A and B are shown apart, each in its own frame.
Chain A
């Protein structure tokens, strides 16, 4: 133990004797490690912010849309086709295993008016389980009931953005009447604020009414545009989605080889795609940063080699007064490790600083992962050992007499 301390002291003294060079050598390590940490933090930050958005949208949700983007020939917007029916929805409800909640959906965009305030927004026609599917609470009043759906009642639940725009902030508008397409609707509730969706639009800028009301009173259509389903088990989402697809293909009489006239999408799928992209990005950035770490390591080796040559006489002297080859090896190895670990530590601190700064000033999310810190630290120690070993062996193998004679 004391021997290690002694070697450490000797190494520190040697490094201290040439401060400028020591600092410059460490700079390579500092930049490399800081880059790795900051890059990984940025990537992880992006990843976890996407994950959070998806979590807030509900990961067990399956969307079924009428029409199909992918079908050849005429490109129809999803929902524009009239291929989905209420019977399809009921069949999914009763025949597909693993379905927890289901809500039929139709939607349109229109003006909503309260007194002299008006606001253009999205009107969602839905069913009673919609809040449960979206895990979205009602803030004021209550959501509409099955009774309201059956009777096509003119009742509306406002999104918080709409409520604020029509009635002002922090006011409870339940019981008030607003006009949608010139028809009076009674406000029965306001949803809690939900924020932006993964796509980036404001989910609170919408109102919800029974789908029956939307079909008959606002749109004059018989078909439905989409069905939102939640799977009972998060792990079963894709299985349920497959069952729905199979059922609808049978119901729509689509033979093998033909394209579906509907689309089944899970949020998980979309999430996975986006997460995959950011992960690839993270690896790429970390890879580039890793290269700079490697360059830092080569810098250490270079300096250590120069140092061994320059200090040949010193090595000879140390051997003459009793240093064994092992002592000399350890001295140079420890010098290299001290360089890389010191540089690595400062790099970690700098990486933290950069990540903090990016979040603070650019408002990009960053997540410092302990993995990245450990990896960077371990890697810098390894770099020290690996790139220090060759110069150290070179020093240890020197012949004391030749070394002493070296000019």
Chain B
């Protein structure tokens, strides 16, 4: 059974008298453990698609089955619960709370968990998540003391904290330089390969899309192509080939930090 199953998904925005058809009927199935790259030009409907898959928004019509459950008709609060328990988000702008340590940022989703989680347990899980993204030793740094790549890794740790079935990332490398982008892609690939986490990654850069196992392309609210990646780029190998290796472990502090 697919993790995500979408049928004839449509989304129409009404702005004044104008109707904007952001999604015009999308069908797609995503299996557990896939790494799906979502590409397409700006304005083609990628983010709209992702917001619906992430239960941040509801479709105008069509069906969306997540983990075998129809979420297209859920209430606002039910959707909040689904977001909390089953979905991890990574945004282009990181969206970390300022003046708040990395570990507290990572713990944040647990505060809204429907079952109560004790402070010590929250801490343990946040440390585990930070360890996965290789930032354990920076757990008490504030966002302004971390580089862009490190901040994005904190955001990934936050997305992982509730063991979600899918991880959604909207242009997560959009604000990062090439090298840090590869670092972040390495984290995604490891999560995908080692932990079998399903990943949907939006990017308008083709070379970033190549880190996935499958690529779908949007144009004008339609999926215009859907193919398995025949050659998959591997971030780990690329990083090993790059010079100054000290950046790789997150041991360098960003310029202006501390």
Residues of A within 8 A of B (CB): 2-3, 6, 10, 13, 17, 313-314, 316-327, 400-401, 404
Residues of chain B with a CB closer than 8 A to A313's CB: 93, 95
A401:B100 contact, CB within 8 angstroms: no
A314:B97 contact, CB within 8 angstroms: yes
Given contacts A10-B111, A322-B109, A327-B112, contact A317 B95 (CB under 8 A): yes
B56:A400 contact, CB within 8 angstroms: yes
B109:A324 contact, CB within 8 angstroms: no
Residue B150 CB within 8 A of the other chain: no
For B83, B84, B112, the residue with the greatest tally of chain A CB atoms inside 10 Å of its CB is: B112
Partner of A321 from B76, B77, B104, B108 at Cβ < 8 Å: B108
Residues of B within 8 A of A (CB): 51, 54, 56-57, 76-77, 80-81, 83-85, 89, 91, 93, 95, 97-100, 104, 108-109, 111-113, 116, 158, 162
For A316, A317, A404, the residue with the greatest tally of chain B CB atoms inside 10 Å of its CB is: A317
Residues of chain A with a CB closer than 8 A to B112's CB: 318, 321-324, 327
Q: Can you give 23 A-B contacts (C-beta < 8 A)? A: A6-B111, A17-B100, A317-B91, A317-B95, A317-B97, A318-B108, A318-B112, A319-B80, A319-B83, A320-B56, A321-B112, A322-B81, A322-B83, A322-B85, A322-B109, A322-B112, A323-B112, A324-B76, A324-B112, A327-B112, A401-B56, A404-B91, A404-B95
Complex: A17 Cα to B98 Cα, angstroms: 9
Other than the given A313-B95, A325-B76, 11 more pairs (CB < 8 A) read: A3-B116, A17-B99, A17-B100, A314-B97, A321-B108, A322-B84, A322-B109, A324-B80, A324-B81, A327-B112, A404-B95
Residues of chain B with a CB closer than 8 A to A401's CB: 51, 56-57
CB distance from B23 to the nearest CB of A (A): 14
Residues of chain B with a CB closer than 8 A to A3's CB: 116
A13:B116 contact, CB within 8 angstroms: no
For A17, A316, A320, the residue with the greatest tally of chain B CB atoms inside 10 Å of its CB is: A320
CB distance from B3 to the nearest CB of A (A): 19
Residue of B nearest to A321 (CB): B109
Partner of B116 from A2, A318, A321 at Cβ < 8 Å: A2
Interchain residue pairs A-B with the least CB separation, the first 9: A322-B84, A322-B112, A321-B109, A324-B80, A317-B95, A17-B99, A323-B112, A324-B77, A322-B83
Given contacts A17-B100, A401-B56, A404-B95, contact A323 B80 (CB under 8 A): yes
Complex: A17 Cα to B96 Cα, angstroms: 14
Complex: A4 Cα to B116 Cα, angstroms: 12
Complex: A50 Cα to B98 Cα, angstroms: 59
Complex: A317 Cα to B143 Cα, angstroms: 15
Partner of B100 from A13, A318, A321, A323 at Cβ < 8 Å: A13
Complex: A6 Cα to B113 Cα, angstroms: 11
Residues of chain A with a CB closer than 8 A to B99's CB: 17
Residues of chain B with a CB closer than 8 A to A325's CB: 76-77, 80
A321:B158 contact, CB within 8 angstroms: yes
A321:B83 contact, CB within 8 angstroms: yes
Complex: A313 Cα to B51 Cα, angstroms: 16
For B54, B97, B98, B104, the residue with the greatest tally of chain A CB atoms inside 10 Å of its CB is: B97
Residues of chain B with a CB closer than 8 A to A327's CB: 112
Residue of B nearest to A6 (CB): B111
B116:A322 contact, CB within 8 angstroms: no
Given contacts A13-B100, A17-B99, A401-B51, contact A320 B89 (CB under 8 A): yes
Complex: A401 Cα to B76 Cα, angstroms: 13
Residue of B nearest to A320 (CB): B89
B97:A321 contact, CB within 8 angstroms: no
CB distance from B208 to the nearest CB of A (A): 21
Residues of chain A with a CB closer than 8 A to B113's CB: 322
Residue of B nearest to A9 (CB): B111
Complex: A320 Cα to B83 Cα, angstroms: 7
Residues of chain B with a CB closer than 8 A to A6's CB: 111
Given contacts A6-B111, A313-B95, A404-B91, contact A322 B57 (CB under 8 A): no
Given contacts A2-B116, A401-B57, contact A322 B100 (CB under 8 A): no
Complex: A322 Cα to B77 Cα, angstroms: 9
Complex: A2 Cα to B115 Cα, angstroms: 11
Complex: A313 Cα to B98 Cα, angstroms: 11
Residue of B nearest to A1 (CB): B116
Residues of chain A with a CB closer than 8 A to B91's CB: 317, 404
Complex: A17 Cα to B108 Cα, angstroms: 16
CB distance from B66 to the nearest CB of A (A): 15
CB distance from A402 to the nearest CB of B (A): 10
CB distance from B110 to the nearest CB of A (A): 9
Residues of chain B with a CB closer than 8 A to A400's CB: 56
Residue of A nearest to B77 (CB): A324
